[in-house]
Amino acid sequence: MKYVPENLVPMFRKAAILRNEMLVSGFTDNGGAIHSAERILDILGQRLNYPRLTHINKLRQYPDAEFSVAALSAYERGERVLIEHVAPLRDLTRQAIGVLDRGASDRELIEFVVRHYRLVLLTVEETQRLNRVNRSRMTPDRLSEAGIKISRRSTTLQTR
Digit-by-digit pLDDT tens for the chain (160 residues) are 789 999 999 999 999 999 999 999 999 999 999 999 999 999 999 999 999 999 999 999 999 999 999 999 999 999 999 999 999 999 999 999 999 999 999 999 999 999 999 999 999 999 999 999 999 999 999 999 999 999 877 644 433 2
pTM for the whole structure: 0.91
Cα(50)–Cα(35) distance, rounded to whole angstroms? Answer: 22
